[in-house]
Amino acid sequence: MSNTKLIVVGGFLAAGKTTSILTIAKHLLEKKYKIGIVTNDQGSQLVDTAFLASNGLPVLEVEGGCFCCNFDEFSNKLNQLSAEQKPDIILAEPVGSCTDLIATIFRPMQKEITHNFELRPLSVVVDPKRLRRLMIESESPFPSEINYLFQKQLEEADIIVLNKIDTLMDEEIAVMEEFLKERFKGAEVVKVSARENINIENWVEKILSVTTVGKKTLDIDYKTYAKAEAYLGWLNFRTSLKAQNPVDWNGFLKEIIEKTKQVLIDKKSEIAHLKAYCISQDDWAKVSLISVYDDVDFSRNMEKPSDEVQLIINARVNMDPENLRSVIMDNLNEYAATMNLEMHDSSLECFSPKEPRPKYRIA
């Protein structure tokens, strides 16, 4: 029996990894492959896991730290998916602030610490706006350590995936492609739009056909890496909301995100990623924001009002965790009160990631 192929899709926060994984999964399902997915977060209550599961895909999650620091749990989830679902391919999405995946995931697996999986090339998905900031480093609103982390992700990629090309002019795509090929020599560069399903087949073809896997081990300063992660406050929140009458939850989500954006602008804090997900019995909406300079973006609108939903909010912001907690929760509580919404069965965590300490690192 052939081994299950493992496809790791990395990239910085808000690059579009989850949408990419969903689009790849749908493409592979059409080709009659059986698919499994493993997601990852420094905490729990992840929007992406709920989003992928709502699309009918088998999803397991590694919580409380990155794949490399929780390597044994990552291995267990791979084995569990393999045993229960018997997939041909497992797609794995590491934490968006994680790097050094070749030395801490690929090399250990190649040394047969984990058996029965065939590693495919490491793809790193890139958001054009963040790439543009790297190209003109002085314009980045993030501290230099964040740029360091983003660049390290690109340095170790087997395949660099320039995403969201539907938002770019042909001239912009050409300039970005040239920069990536010149700056990160040896990596394949693929241009796609995961949302619009543009060039996904080309990307999948490269993943399944490229034979060189994990050829670059990073020269990385873990103190700078840890400092970069610590700049961001992480918030994960889940609750049930009940209204006296059916509510337009699309308008609710947009208002919450817009209000939060304005407060962060006033406090001169930048967003790495802010996303929210509303789920009713047979309907859902997902919204995200990747910068205080951008507009709120709906991946999907709810089709009709309802009187009760599950709400999940994930925020990754350049702010102290306690201040982030106040910003998000004060806005949510205030707006919920004006709409006479009952909030119950809530779960909240807010923190800065711990210093990365991989279980294995094979250079």
Q: Is the pLDDT of residue 1 over 60?
A: no
Q: Is the pLDDT of residue 302 over 80?
A: yes
Please check whether residue 105 is in contact with residue 213, taking contact to mean a CB–CB distance below 8 angstroms. Answer: no
pLDDT at residue 53, as a whole number: 79
pLDDT at residue 46, as a whole number: 65
- CA 227 to mean position of chain CA atoms: 20
Q: Is the pLDDT of residue 138 over 80?
A: no
pLDDT at residue 63, as a whole number: 85
CA dihedral 102, 108, 112, 116 (to 10 degrees): -60
In the chain, where the domains are located: 4-228, 232-351
Please check whether residue 61 is in contact with residue 41, taking contact to mean a CB–CB distance below 8 angstroms. Answer: yes
Q: Is the pLDDT of residue 48 over 50?
A: yes
Which is nearest to 37 in space by CA: 2, 17, 61? 61
Residue 241 Rama label (left phi>0; alpha psi -120 to 50; beta): beta
pLDDT at residue 114, as a whole number: 58
Distance CA 233, CA 244 (A): 34
Superfamily of domain 4-228: P-loop containing nucleotide triphosphate hydrolases (3.40.50.300)
pLDDT confidence bin for 143, thresholds 50/70/90: low
Most confident stretch, 36-45, 239-248, 290-299: 239-248
Distance CA 307, CA 299 (A): 22
pLDDT confidence bin for 3, thresholds 50/70/90: confident
- Residue with the bigger pLDDT between 134 and 326: it is 326
Percent of the chain with pLDDT over 90: 77
Query: 234: number of CA atoms within 13 Å, CB side?
Result: 21
pLDDT at residue 349, as a whole number: 93
Distance CA 82, CA 79 (A): 5
Per mean pLDDT, which range of 23-27, 110-114, 268-272 is the poorest?
Answer: 110-114
Q: Is the pLDDT of residue 333 over 90?
A: yes
The mean pLDDT value for 155-175 works out to 97
Please check whether residue 300 is in contact with residue 285, taking contact to mean a CB–CB distance below 8 angstroms. Answer: yes
Please check whether residue 185 is in contact with residue 35, taking contact to mean a CB–CB distance below 8 angstroms. Answer: no
The mean pLDDT value for 258-283 works out to 92
pLDDT at residue 182, as a whole number: 95
pLDDT confidence bin for 216, thresholds 50/70/90: confident
Topology adopted by domain 232-351: Alpha-Beta Plaits (3.30.70)
Please check whether residue 123 is in contact with residue 210, taking contact to mean a CB–CB distance below 8 angstroms. Answer: no
Which is nearest to 263 in space by CA: 333, 331, 325? 331
